[in-house]
Chain A
Amino acid sequence: MGIKQLFSIIKEEAPDAFKEGEIKNQFGRKVAIDASMSIYSFLIAVRSGGEMLTNEEGETTSHLMGMFYRTLRIVDNGIKPVYVFDGAPPKLKSGELAKRFQRKAEATEGLEEAKETGTAEDIEKFSRRTVRVTREHNVECQRLLKLMGIPYIIAPTEAEAQCAALARAGKVYAAASEDMDTLCFDSPVLLRHLTFSEQRKEPIQEIFLEKVLDGLNMDRKQFVDLCILLGCDYLDPIPKVGPHTALKLIREHGTLENFVAAVAAGKAKFVIPEDWPFADARELFFNPDVRDADHSDCEFKWGAPDMDGLIQFLVTEKGFSEDRVKAGAARLTKNLKSSQQARLEGFFKPIPKTDEEVKGLKRKNDEKIEKARKKAKEEKKEKAKAKAKPRGTA
């Protein structure tokens, strides 16, 4: 899922590229949410006693529960969500998908075994690994969204790419996904943790692509190359390339072409997998198959919820509590009606920083990074020392 370790790199190299804040700071903004990822996380997280929630017939309802209440929380905070569902996966992803399928199959076997011999913990662990988002889950969630009056769109291929396209065109303020891929698809702003549960108290992360590129001192192409090296969904990772190495390699070689050539010439000792069409992967990031933001499918309308429909679907068919569904629908109606608070940025524009200020800031940032590095090094040393001491002598 996503790009390995990218966030830790951003945190180290471009600490001013992300902000953390409360969900209510996002009010008044439209946000495109990666629905498939969210449903998956609901299926994993919305559970009771380690078992997925079900209605009396034994049909899973975790995804609907998550979708309903988490969307309510988003709307309550004055955010207007648009959900984007995955379409057909791009061909390049088939390798990754096959691997995931394999892992699921293994996990299913593991689950069977654990049920016979293992502890409750093992069962839960394996059962979480067997989770798959099925077509039915998607269809049910779409039906729910329609009843709630929340717009959604089915992307031609990857949902993240569509979210990014909408954000880039200014249709929405940001793309919301846990997946760092979204930045490679050129989303100016990425929100993370938006669909998390309130109880987790995770702050909403806001990541700004432009500042990431500034901080890394890269253009977008190099950034995408970096992400491919770190390991994306489309290509196998190169053995022995971790975040630090990947960063160093891109800084040294500039592009993946140069890097691959250097490896071929024997100048760099890495083993690149045989089938490694990095140019195709890059192409996917640069020109993904998405609906144009001015396409009629991207005209989003937030409407009133269909109270009777919601009760029929959630209460009668899925066994939700009628009172809670009614209260939820009432909240949706109220939020739709109340006038929206505008943000000051719409009226007053930030004054661009002078070159001097930018330089000063850059210097300060570099100092901070340097300090953090030193500290980490020293801690490591301390640890090594502590370990080197034979036990019992302290």
Chain B
Amino acid sequence: MLEARLEQADLLKKVVDAIKDLVQDCNFDCNDSGLALQAMDNSHVALVSMMLKAESFSPYRCDRNIALGVNLTSLTKVLRAAQNEDILTLKAEDAPDVLNLVFESSGNDRLSEYDLKLMDIDQEHLGIPDTEYAATISMPSTEFRRICVDLMALSESVSIEASKDGVKFSCTGDIGNGAVTLRSHNNVENPELNVDIELSEPVALTFSLKYLVNFCKASGLSKSVKLCLSNEVPLLVEYGLDGGSYLRFYLAPKIGDDE
């Protein structure tokens, strides 16, 4: 039996919104430590890894491991019926056919209840090795989104170069080229605007902007975003959430031809 109560429905709304264009159907794996989701997009270029820890809920109860196979488009439809400030409770039996969602409005005594049909999904899980990344960049999530959207106007792909001078996002397209460079920056008054670059060796990699712009839909979840890069491994884009929960995206790089 699963019972998980979220103080604010908008956390789940935003998470599902951020990933529903990448993934259509996926399993929410529930166990006593929390709600986890791992799924690749259709073309196996990007991977979403979400963890909503038990601490993010109050209360959280899950006696047995359950996989909730959900169609995200359908879940979005149901979640649309919830207001951002509603209290949201997820409930499911041990071998569930449906996921029960309850929205309680805090202001008045309105209570809405929905059952979402579940499906059997045979999913492949990928093992993600622990990586010591050569470069870790934290920046405001709005800044990252702006860079991606701006460069997307020129080209399909962006090259990200991190060196001791800073991090440079550059692209070349048919109409011309563009580049944005950020340096480490410490804003005492407003630490949310900090740009922080940790570097053990210089890195340069190219990625598809289409995917990055898609990841940026998660910007509303967290004020800052963390990019982790190492040469020849996928990029990690992490949005940290309260209580140790997170929403992570992995993206395979574009590579020059091996021949």
Contact = CB atoms under 8 A, between A and B. Distances in A.
Q: Which 5 A-B pairs have the closest CB atoms?
A: A348-B126, A342-B252, A339-B254, A351-B125, A351-B127
Given A25-B42, A350-B125, A302 B259 contact: yes
Interface in A215-238: none
A25 B125 CA distance: 18
Interface in B38-82: 40, 42-47
A348 B45 CA distance: 11
A16 B122 contact: yes
Q: How large is the interface on B (under 10, 10 to 19, 20 to 34, 35 or more residues)?
A: 20 to 34
B126 A344 contact: yes
Interface of B: 40, 42-47, 120, 122, 124-129, 156-157, 206, 208, 233-234, 250, 252-257, 259
A25 to B, nearest CB: 5
Interface string A315-342: 0000000000000000000000011111
B127 A348 contact: yes
A204 to B, nearest CB: 12
A348 B254 contact: no
B34 to A, nearest CB: 19
Interface of A: 16, 21-22, 24-25, 27, 301-302, 338-351, 361, 364
A139 to B, nearest CB: 26
B47 A344 contact: yes
Contacts of B257: 339-340
Contacts of A27: 43
A42 to B, nearest CB: 27
Contacts of B43: 24-25, 27, 343
A346 B45 CA distance: 10
A348 B250 CA distance: 10
Nearest to B206: A339
Nearest to B124: A350
16 contacts: A25-B43, A25-B44, A27-B43, A339-B254, A342-B252, A344-B45, A344-B46, A344-B126, A347-B233, A348-B127, A348-B234, A348-B250, A349-B127, A351-B126, A351-B127, A361-B122
Contacts of B156: 338
A361 B259 CA distance: 40
Given A343-B44, A343-B45, A347-B233, 12 more contacts: A25-B42, A339-B254, A340-B256, A344-B44, A344-B47, A344-B250, A348-B47, A348-B126, A348-B127, A348-B128, A349-B126, A350-B127
A189 to B, nearest CB: 14
A345 B127 CA distance: 10
B98 to A, nearest CB: 18
A348 B259 contact: no
